[in-house]
Amino acid sequence: MTRVLITAIAALGLALPAAAAPETYTADPDHTFPSFELSHGNDFTITRGFFQKTSGKITLDRAAKTGSIEIVVDVASMTTGQQARDRIVRTNWFKAEQFPNMTYRSDNLKFDGETLVGADGELTLAGVTRPVSLTVTSFKCRPHPVNKKEQCGADGTARIKRSDFGLNAASSVGNDVKILFQIEAYKD
């Protein structure tokens, strides 16, 4: 009886799928562009800008529905499409000379089934760290159609208040900031 039980347990163990290991992805700087929107002129128009230099790592364990994110944004790479305004935004809004990077870190990813739908983490901006939740609106992984490397892409949003990060210099712009991100990352 014991031999039969051991054989059955061994056979069951062989039939179970191997646990998936976490996979690490590196952000593709040519296809990763966080951007922002906030009101200008006391809700008269929307000012938009994006950051041209971003790096980061994402670790996903899709079987366990866990992972982590670390994204570093070069604040001085921000552009709104108008050089004079860019200097003001970099200096007054983002304090880029004192705090050259904005960083988002999360070890708390949220899944709906197999799909990544959000993350709770911390944003460090202008030397201040605050909790920030991301909502992922699109998430897909597949082999790249040209180079065949495994890649994942995502789009999402977060909302912050400038005042929470000590960014109160410009009274002509709104306090509420919408952060949008698009990221493509290749499996290491």
Q: Which band of pLDDT confidence, cut at 50, 70 and 90, is reported for residue 170?
A: low
Which residue is listed with tokens 């982590």?
68
Confidence of residue 5 (pLDDT cuts 50, 70, 90): very low
CA distance 49 to 87: 12
* Tokens 């897909």 belong to residue: 140
Residue-level pLDDT at 135:
97
Q: Which residue has the higher pLDDT, 117 or 45?
A: 117
- Give the three-class secondary structure for 163: helix
Higher-pLDDT residue of 4 and 132 is: 132
Cα 86 to chain center, whole Å?
A: 23
pLDDT: is 43 or 170 the higher one?
43
Most confident of 40-54, 135-149, 165-179: 135-149
Domains, the chain, ranges and CATH?
Answer: 20-187 (2.40.128.110)
- Distance of alpha carbon 72 from the chain centroid: 9
Mean predicted lDDT score pLDDT of the chain: 87
Instruction: Find out whether 31 and 70 touch, Cβ atoms under 8 Å.
Output: no
Least confident piece of the model among 64-68, 85-89, 137-141: 85-89
pLDDT at 11 over 60: no
pLDDT at 19 exceeding the cut of 70 = no
